[in-house]
Amino acid sequence: MSLRALFSFPDPVNDVSARIVAGGVVVLAAAVLASRQVWLLPVLAYGFVARAAAGPTLSPLGLAATKLITPRLGLPPRYSPGPAKRFAQAVGAAFSVSAAVLALGFGLHTAAFALVAVLGVFAFLEAAFGLCVGCKVFALLIRAGVVPESVCRACANIWAR
């Protein structure tokens, strides 16, 4: 597998798998918040960084969702544009890496747990209702001209889904 292929992101993304991954993030975020175990923060951060960089390829949770769980559910696929989902994973990476640095680097556990709580809420919205807040923000950035429409033409009309 070439590096280019390794670090590619699927387009489109199966929403069934995305919602399963989000459910896993909810469980991990809840575990972090309930246990107050800051060593779990790099685990959470790794998952987001891996998924933002390479889709499910380097993420144990992403691989479990796409290769094991989704195929066994037998649900018809529902697709969303990949660039929006990648943006959402990148935002999750920024939040989770920031939480890990705040807690492990500076001892600011309360701030770190607040970021994890926000991640947990957004992941819950995706898992339970299929509402990808990062995808909506990405669409707004395209409409505002911050992100060129050529990056994802389908994302420019994401509100229609």
pLDDT category of residue 8 using cuts at 50, 70 and 90: confident
Its pTM stands at 0.93
* Number of other residues whose CB lies within 10 A of the CB of residue 46: 18
Residue 161 has pLDDT above 80, yes or no: no
- The pLDDT assigned to 160 comes to 55
Q: Where are the alpha helices (DSSP H) in the chain?
A: 3-6, 15-35, 41-54, 60-63, 70-73, 82-100, 106, 109-129, 133-143
Per-residue pLDDT reduced to its tens digit, 95-125: 999 999 999 999 999 999 999 999 999 999 9
- Which is nearest to 138 in space by CA: 94, 83, 96? 83
Residue 21 has pLDDT above 70, yes or no: yes
Please provide the average confidence, as pLDDT, over all residues in the chain: 94
- The pLDDT assigned to 155 comes to 83
Cα radius of gyration (the chain) = 16
Q: What is the mean pLDDT of residues 72-78?
A: 95
pLDDT category of residue 159 using cuts at 50, 70 and 90: low
* 14 backbone dihedrals φ, ψ, rounded to 5°: -75, 115
Residues 6+ apart with CB under 8 A from 117: 29, 33
- The pLDDT assigned to 154 comes to 84
- The pLDDT assigned to 26 comes to 98
Lowest mean pLDDT among 24-33, 115-124, 146-155: 146-155
